[in-house]
Each structure stands twice: as C-alpha cells, then as structure tokens.
Structure 1
Amino acid sequence: MNTIYALSTAPGRAGVAVIRISGEGAREAVTALTGEAPGRPREAKLRRFRDPESGAPLDLGLLLFFEAPASFTGEDVAELHIHGGRAVVAAMLRALGHMHFLRAAAPGEFTRRAFEHGKLDLTAVEGLADLIDAETEAQRVQALRQMEGALGKLYECWRARLVKALAYAEAEIDFPDEEVPGDLLAKLGPEIHALASEIAAHLDDGRKGERLRDGVEVAIVGPPNAGKSSLLNRLAGREAAIVSEEAGTTRDVLEVRLDIAGVPVTLADTAGLREAANAIEREGVRRALARAEAADLRLVLVAPGAGGDFSLAREGDIRVVNKLDLDAEVPKGAIGISALTGQGLDALEAALREKIGAAYEAQEHPLITRARHREGLSDCAASLARAGEALEAGRDAELVAEALRLAARALGRITGRVDVEDLLDVIFRDFCIGK
C-alpha cells in the first residue's frame, strides 16, 4: 500500500479540516468518495463525500487534486477540505481506512516523499519543520528563507565548484599524456583558497542561526532582595515568581518564555548570590552561577539596602539599579527602574530589544541553523585544508583529488545528495502526522 492519507490540520473542533491523500491510489480514492473522477488538476470543486461501503453521506466540501509531478510530494495528491467537526473528520478518516489500497501516513511521511522526489533538499525540509515550530517573527523569517532554499542553494553552489575542481584533478590523473590544458593542478590553488575562505566566514557566525532557532538565554543575576523575582514578573507581565521580603526565597532557576524583538527569549530568575546559609541555598547559588555563566545576555540587578554592586558585571551585561521609588542612586551606564511601580521599565525593555535585535537582525547570507550543518561544513573545511597543503607540497594529484572528493561529499551530506540514509529517520521523526 503505497498511497497514504492523514489529517493535515490540527485535530480538534475547527471551521475547516484538510485531509491529504498522496500516491498512485489518490484518484481511485477520490472516485470512491465522490462517485466521479477528480477532474482538472488545481481546480477547487464542490463535492458530496459518501462512504464507499454504505453510500451514506459524510460531508459536503471542497476537493483539490494535484497531478504528479506538480504537487508537494511529487505524486498524485488529493486534498479534501471538509467541515472541522470531530465527528465529520472521524467519519472521513474511517471511510479512508476501510479502503484496502490506502494506509495511514507516518509522521513526516508526506515531507519525506517530497524529499525523495526531489521537491525539497534536506535543508529545506528542516526549514519547513522550523517554520511549523516558529514562535516569533525572526524565527519565521529565518525558517522561511531556509525552506525556500537559501541554505541549500549556497551549499550546492559550493559543491558544484568543488566538483569542477575535482574534475580538474581527475583529468590530471587520468589523462597525463593527452592534450588537456597544462598544469591543471596549479589552477586549483586560488579556487581552493577562495572556497576555504568563504566557508570559514560562514562558520564564523557566532552561532546566531542556531541561537535564533533555539532561543536566547537571558539571566537576571544579583544579590538577594535586589528585586530579581519582581523584575521577572514585570517583564513577563504575570506573577511567575514568588516575591517576598525574606532573603533567599528563590532557591532554583525560574524561567519564562518571551518574544523580544522577534527573537524567542528564555528569561531566568536566579537565586540571590551571597554566602549561603544552608545546603539547599548553596545549591541554588551554584545553579545561579552556572546559569549566569552560560547565558547569552545578563541583567545584573542591584538595589540599595540589598548589598552588592556591579562587580559581577562583565562586558555586554545590562546593568540595572532597582528601587527608584526609594530614590536609589543610578551610576552612569546603568538603567534605573522600580520593579514595584514599573518606573524605568520602558528604558530597560528598549535596551533589551536593542541588544537582542542587533545581535540577531537579518543577515545578508543565510545562517547555519543546526549542528549537523556545522559538522558537515567543518569536515568540508578540513578536507579543503588538506587539499591546499597537498598542492603546496607538490604531492600527487591523487591526494588532492581525494581531499576534494571528501570535501564535496561533506557538503552533499548537508543537502541530502549523498550518504544520508542514516539521517532521514532522525530528521523526519519530529514532524507532525499529515506533514
């Protein structure tokens, strides 16, 4: 059974639900449900759907048919746009399940078929997954660029240049006595150097793409009773943390998820940094220090009467003085706020937007978004370095060619051109059913 079906919209009550069918049996399924052929492709048609076994009406809805290869999967695809009530969807899926030539799709199987039929490369597949999961505007923009092929085109361009360079090296090996342009290997040096430089610049991106995809970590650090939990609540717009005058109330790291400048941000409230009074508080301080060290950005918060100063601050931190309502003194370079009244919060939020927005603003070139991309590019760069060293040392053309072959293969693994079978299950398993 090579024809699959699935609900492609979210389960639950809705105005409209879409069920997809993909494969060589899509036409037969449509005929069985409607009593007539699909008709002209890409034209929406109003159809009454009936149970093929009993003839009982199921629903009145729209039918769209996409003829292979001009479809998302590259196969014949039918889309049934029906009413989104639970009973309607269940009845339609039950009718499809009774057709012996159909089977329910596995998670991500529609997208996997699109990859297998050359509709998407692996980077575009991952971009589609990121687009579905995008929580913020910046994530949406990055995912859409990747899904539309920005990364794949860049990597395939590099791969094509590598294949051309490899052809030169192979010509030197295979036709040493034939009439081919002389000294082919010498012509490879500038191209290998140029490719290595471009890939090195691409790798030296501060992991912005991965951080944007996964989210930015912002930690609030400072002494006890400085108002860290109150500030977390203010920025979150809700009572996420317990606030108390008693020092050491926060024992563990508390987190809230925010959207700042279109970037997903995990804001963490940490335990007050002081000499701990007991084992539990010591663990809280240890975790606070670890979180502060790992954070992408830190808000260092102090307040009069709470002790402490900005000695913990490092370059790039946002320095904040709380309790302006008590006439706290604000040194130059710091932002004064009152977590109690909200005074100064606009200035702090603007500083956060500026820092985060500047760090993750749109780039001219697409960014690396996954560890496997970085690993493949690093392997490619290492192979290019070996090819360059072999050229400079005047070694045999076979060594140069092998290094270039490995470099091209490393790029091919990223887009799915070679050696990817072991990656496919990992990449597609996190897709929702129906996609």
Structure 2
Amino acid sequence: MDDTIYALGTPVPSRAHPGAISVVRLSGPRAAEALIFLTERRAFERGHSARDPALPEPRRMTLRSLYDPKSGEAIDRGLVAWFEAPNSETGETMAELHLHGGRAVVGGALEAIAKLGFCRMAEPGEFTRRAFENGKLDLTRAEAIADLVAAETDQQRRQAMQQMDGALHRLYEDWRTLGLRTLAHLEAAIDFPDEDLPPGIADEVHAGITQLRAEIAAHLDDRRGERLREGLHIAIIGPPNAGKSSLLNLLARRDAAIVSETAGTTRDVIEVHLDLGGWPVVLADTAGLRESGDAIEQEGVRRARARAASADLRLLVLDATSGWQAERDKLVASTERWDGARDIVVVNKIDRASVADADVVPVSALSGDGLPELLGRIEQAAGALMQEGGAPPLTRARHREALVECQASLARALTASEIALAAEDVRLAMRALGRITGTVRIDELLDIIFRDFCIGK
C-alpha cells in the first residue's frame, strides 16, 4: 500500500445532473503532499513539504483554490481537508477536495491529480479495502458499506447500518471465542495426557460444541437478512383471466405485463422490483393455473407452481364474477406451502360484482379500488416475515457457505474417535468462521468481495 490513490467519491456529474458539490478523495503516504501541490500555485518551484505552513490544520475544512500543477491555472475554489494516519477512514494519510459539481471542474481536478505523477486512480473498493487492511473495519462492516450504498429502501438501509455498527461482527466473534475456548481444552488434553486435568472438561467440550452448533443452526434458519438484501419474493397466482397481470401493473404503476382477455396470454414469469412500505419486493406475475393441452402453456403452469412454492408470500387472485369461492378452495388445496395466516386471497373485478368476505381483499385492478387495503395487508405480511429477532440476521451467501462448513466440522468433532481428530475439526470450524470477518486471510476471497464496490469507496 505504498501508492497514493485518488477517486471521485460522489456520483459522476452529467449534463442533466451536474450536482452542487463533488468530493475527490486521496489516500496514501503522499496525500498531504498532493494537497499542497494542488492548492499552492508555485508549490513545485518552492518545494513545500508536509510540514510546510501551506498545509492546513488536520481534520479542519479550509477554503483553498485548486490549481493545475503544471500550468498554475486555477481550476476551482472550494473546501479542502486532510487527515493524519492512522486517524482516518483508511488508516492512511487522507485528503479531500470538496469542489463544485460541474463536469469541467471534476474533470479538471482529476486531470490535475494525474499530472502530479505520484498518484494513481483507485480500483473499485480500494479505499474500503485499505481500511480493512489497516484494521479500521472487518469484512462484515466492509460489506455493510457496499449494502448501504446500494440500499433502495428504508429497511435495507437499517439493516446495513446495523451491520456497519458491528452487530454481525460481534456475533461471529463471540462464537469464535467460544470455539477457541473449546479448542484450548482439547489441546490441553492432547499436550498433557498424563496430567490430572480439571474434572468435567470433557463435558464442557461437548457442551460448548453443542451450544455453538445450535446457535449457528438457528442463524442459518433465519432468512430475514437475505430476504431484505435480495427482496421479498411475492408470487401472483390464480386462474386465467382473473386479472393477475392487471394487478401487477397496478402495483407497479406501469404496464409491466401484457393484459388481454385471451386466456393463457402470460406464458412465463414476469418480475418487477418494488418498494412497498420500506420493504424491497420482487413481484412475479405467473401463468394462469389450469389444465391445458398446449405444451408451452403447460410449461408456464409448471413454472407458476414452482414460483409459488419458492416464494416468501403468495397472492391468489380470483375473479369476483365467476364462483371464486370454489376456485379458492381448489387452488389453496393444490398450492404447495400455502400459509393461511400470511398468504393473501385477492378477489378482483369488484367493479362488476360485490364481495363481502372478511378473509379476502376485494379490489378492482381497473379502478384501483381496494388498493390501499391490499398494500396494507402486504406490508403487514412482510413485517411478520421480517419481524426482528434477538440476533442480527445472516445477510450474504458467503457467510452462509462458511457457516455450513463450520457446522459440518463441528458435527465431525462430536463423533471423532480420537481427541486429536476432534481438535482438528474444531480448528477447521474456527477457520471457516474466521473467514467471514477476515480473521483468516484469503487474498482471493478479498478480491471477490471488494471488486464489486464502486470506484471511490
């Protein structure tokens, strides 16, 4: 990390959206030196150093002009600041330029830094990676930064903030501490076989591994975090011509699906992403559920049933004008994983026929009548699925993979025929757990994690 890196830390300005302020960030051993050269017209000739009075007081915003270091031409006038290592976000010396947000200003500033000759453009995620490398955050917090940048709903933002505050880190480190204590007992039994070890150590080891496995199993069963990152999957199902596609368009507030009086128009699953009451939702319109001799429609029905089975929540849409009660009973009985306490029966076309049933939500996809009530029911069901538990939820497939590996190693430790084998399995379990937070370093893993960050983070 001997290089000094730089990048635009705010969105790239465009002609339509220039922005009021843009922030350019620098990090590395020569960041303060770069700040001097950029804000002093004749800095090269005068040979300023980091101790020169031209350098502002650390951690204090100062009004300065920004100059081209070659020509001395003024580019902009804005606020600048620098931060001494290790008291910065990355743990290195850092500098920030808070400039006007026009494209010419930003482009001129980036070109000026490049002309210095000792700074290079940062790779995606390199600022955050340097913070990790310098012990400013662990991998779970680093991933939370990416989640916070990508958050589209209030609930996603809250989860990212909880993880960035260290909730997951503390949970995993508590487990690692318990595992290491268990491992220490096993190692003592191996290293001192002839010594009289304290009574009950075998029971403590067994209890520790059992407790750890139970807590990890409960964590793996908790899908709240992954649902919140990826979106709650809601499947719209029902017979043909009940108005499923019309309801999807009403909820999406756009024509996302083709609407036709011809039965079987929807052949494949159509998805839209929505924010419903702060919950991220992936809403899927599916083919009408009916018997058909058409091979393509049969495949559509198969996909509809599969989507209904895998969804977190189901909306069964029925036609108010045609015996919907009998249709409801038949489809509910044939729908895998139907949850009567959470899944919602929607009776459409109440502009043509009245519906009086407290167990269903009457709507008109044509007029929008009943839409607020339906949205309220969906938000209520989503809240029930995502209700907060005592522990922070698992959020990423990478964490799940490591925890499954940890569980398998702990299971082997419980049935190991020798103490040495049990100790090795517990050691492998702790390595898997340590990979989540970065306690166990694997550079290829770090490359995968940080490459998906945006430049400037």
TM range (shorter): over 0.9
Tell me by how many angstroms 1:226 deviates. 0.9
| Aligned pairs (5 A) from 1:13-412 | 13-35=18-40, 37-177=54-194, 181=198, 184-205=201-222, 207-276=223-292, 278-305=294-321, 309-310=327-328, 311-313=330-332, 314-316=338-340, 317-331=343-357, 333-390=359-416, 395-412=417-434
CA-to-partner distance for each residue in 1:121-159, whole Å, 9 max, x for gaps?
A: 111111111111111111111111111211111101111
CA-to-partner distance for each residue in 1:198-225, whole Å, 9 max, x for gaps?
A: 22222221x2211111011111111221
Q: Which amino acid aligns with 1:264?
A: P
Find the aligned partners of 1:277 and 1:192 in 2 and give their Cα distance: 56
Tell me by how many angstroms 1:255 deviates. 2.3
Paired position in structure 2 for 1:423: 445
Contact 2:4–2:120 (8 Å) recurs in 1: yes
Q: Which amino acid aligns with 1:154?
A: L
Find the aligned partners of 1:196 and 1:279 in 2 and give their Cα distance: 47
Tell me by how many angstroms 1:247 deviates. 2.6
Tell me by how many angstroms 1:229 deviates. 1.8
Contact 1:226–1:306 (8 Å) recurs in 2: no
Paired position in structure 2 for 1:434: 456
Q: Which amino acid aligns with 1:243?
A: V
Find the aligned partners of 1:40 and 1:177 in 2 and give their Cα distance: 64
Of residues 185-194 and 98-107 in structure 1, the stretch that sits farther from structure 2 once superposed is 185-194
- Change over 3 Å in CA distance of 1:287–1:396 after alignment to 2: closer
SS at match of 2:381: helix
Tell me by how many angstroms 1:7 deviates. 0.4
CA-to-partner distance for each residue in 1:394-415, whole Å, 9 max, x for gaps?
A: x543123212211211110111
TM-score normalized with structure 1 length: 0.93
CA-to-partner distance for each residue in 1:70-99, whole Å, 9 max, x for gaps?
A: 111110010110111000000010011112
Contact 1:30–1:78 (8 Å) recurs in 2: yes
Tell me by how many angstroms 1:343 deviates. 2.2
Tell me by how many angstroms 1:178 deviates. 5.4
Q: Which amino acid aligns with 2:434?
A: G
CA-to-partner distance for each residue in 1:297-334, whole Å, 9 max, x for gaps?
A: 11111114567711222334311111212224455622
Contact 2:141–2:166 (8 Å) recurs in 1: yes
Paired position in structure 2 for 1:2: 3
Paired position in structure 1 for 2:43: none
Contact 2:320–2:350 (8 Å) recurs in 1: no
SS at match of 1:326: coil
Paired position in structure 1 for 2:335: none
Find the aligned partners of 1:173 and 1:149 in 2 and give their Cα distance: 35
Tell me by how many angstroms 1:56 deviates. 0.7
CA-to-partner distance for each residue in 1:353-412, whole Å, 9 max, x for gaps?
A: 11011111333211011112112112222222222334xxxx543123212211211110
Of residues 93-102 and 225-234 in structure 1, the stretch that sits farther from structure 2 once superposed is 225-234
SS at match of 1:106: coil
* Equivalent residue pairs, number: 430
CA-to-partner distance for each residue in 1:228-283, whole Å, 9 max, x for gaps?
A: 12211222223333333333333333222211232110112222223446455444
SS at match of 2:157: helix
Give me the identity figure in percent: 56
Q: Which amino acid aligns with 1:30?
A: L
Tell me by how many angstroms 1:427 deviates. 0.6
RMSD after superposition: 2.1
Contact 2:216–2:403 (8 Å) recurs in 1: yes
Find the aligned partners of 1:166 and 1:201 in 2 and give their Cα distance: 22
Tell me by how many angstroms 1:168 deviates. 2.0
Find the aligned partners of 1:216 and 1:182 in 2 and give their Cα distance: 50
Of residues 107-116 and 36-45 in structure 1, the stretch that sits farther from structure 2 once superposed is 36-45
- Change over 3 Å in CA distance of 1:269–1:330 after alignment to 2: farther
- Change over 3 Å in CA distance of 1:232–1:24 after alignment to 2: same
TM-score normalized with structure 2 length: 0.89
Contact 1:223–1:307 (8 Å) recurs in 2: no
Unaligned runs of 5+ in 2: 41-52, 333-337
